[in-house]
Structure 1
């Protein structure tokens, strides 16, 4: 169990609503749909109503400082079945990248690879007390595109299993290119935080409002939180 999963949930039953995709940038086909993730006939572009409202605020803040730039929504509400699919997919990718064979892995190798996976991917459990953040409709993965529609370079791709994914990875690197990556990440964080979102500790692209991680970060990321001090607004939600 991760520390934020100790936070109590006071579900407010706010609905999932569609993200207005005419206002935000998206990929032509959702990244996980390209990989075969089982969304069925459900759109991946849903969030809780108040989370969508805050995302719109963040977009307005971005355009106030960078006219014609857009927030690009990479991922939003993620059903448990999709979470399971992507966790398994990421595990298999890491096995292949290490030149290993799945059927030949030792227990120690499996444990090591799972630890890498779960540093970035939440466990796809169905316990209502510990929902994966994206399953709540409160978490969103985002980046930026500039006025020409080109992706803004953040120094690493979304979902990379690497320290480069940590939000401040480039902060102390003196190279001009690294400093530009850091400034781009800071701009993204600035506009999202201005709308009330808080950023995942390990992922420059992941922001949330109203889930357990957000509540835990709101209390100062206390490693031993009082689960009743601040409650999350949102638990797991289904379309």
Structure 2
């Protein structure tokens, strides 16, 4: 049986070049709306925060949906998962990357571009729509999550969601010596262990970011290939055309 408060092991920062070289064997799982779930809560953070082009619903691959349910069932009574983001359009990924890079550049005007790029990549994956190397969230395999109590009040996880500081590193509180720090450490351990048990990998610089099936997951776990390439939420017009073309006699 999994120790849900086991220490979070040390993990390297992603080698993005190596991760993006992982082959993709697309399994064809559809994107599904997570907001229909009764097993966890959904709060589409970027839409609520007014980020341009951010969708009002969180979508993820079917396998991710099932594993989120599996992780949620392992939580102690009174705690629930909250999904903050999942499938992310390229425009949103580009906006987040460019915005953080510019903020860092303004904060540290003497920093070299390579250093600014490295710092930005700690908290926002490089934007990419390439079929062989898509951004993790573009695949529907990456999710951003947190914990809340039974009434929906978010727990203190030691940093804000998307906070671009060292406190966001998953292991930041592992050596905490005060009661408050140890409480945060245990919440992060709980989240990490239920998600790992469900098959996810974690991005070491973001306690909230977990992957299943994408190239980052494949790189972290030493898999032979990723399961998910780029995905797209189909607009109604595309669904109608697809349905009509599937009718007998359609060319």
Category of TM-score, reference length = shorter chain: 0.7 to 0.9
1:18 is aligned to 33
CA-to-partner distance for each residue in 1:82-113, whole Å, 9 max, x for gaps? Answer: 101111222233345x2x7xxxx56x544433
Does 1:237 find its partner at 2:231? yes
The residue aligned with 2:98 is 88
Does 1:49 find its partner at 2:62? Answer: yes
Are 1:142 and 2:136 counterparts?
no
Give the drift of 1:22: 4.1
- Equivalent position of 2:249 in the other structure: none
Contact kept, 8 Å, 2:147 with 2:155, in 1: the verdict is yes
Q: Does 1:70 align with 2:85?
A: no
Q: Which of the two has higher C-alpha Rg?
A: 2
Q: Which runs of 5+ in 2 are unaligned?
A: 1-15, 234-251
Q: Distance in 1 between matches of 2:164 and 2:183?
A: 21
The CA deviation string for residues 58-78 of structure 1, in whole angstroms up to 9 with x for no partner, is: 11111xxx2132101011000
Please show how residues 32-181 of structure 1 align to structure 2 within 5 Å: 32-39=47-54, 42-62=55-75, 66-96=76-106, 98=107, 108-181=111-184
Q: Which has the higher contact order (CA 8 A, sep 6+)?
A: 1
What is the deviation of 1:201? 2.0
Instruction: Tell me the TM-score normalized by structure 2.
Output: 0.79
> How many correspondences in the alignment?
217
- Structure 1 outlier segments of 4+, above 4 Å: none
Structure 1 gap segments, 5+ residues each: 220-228
RMSD: 2.0
1:31 is aligned to: 46
TM-score (norm 1): 0.83
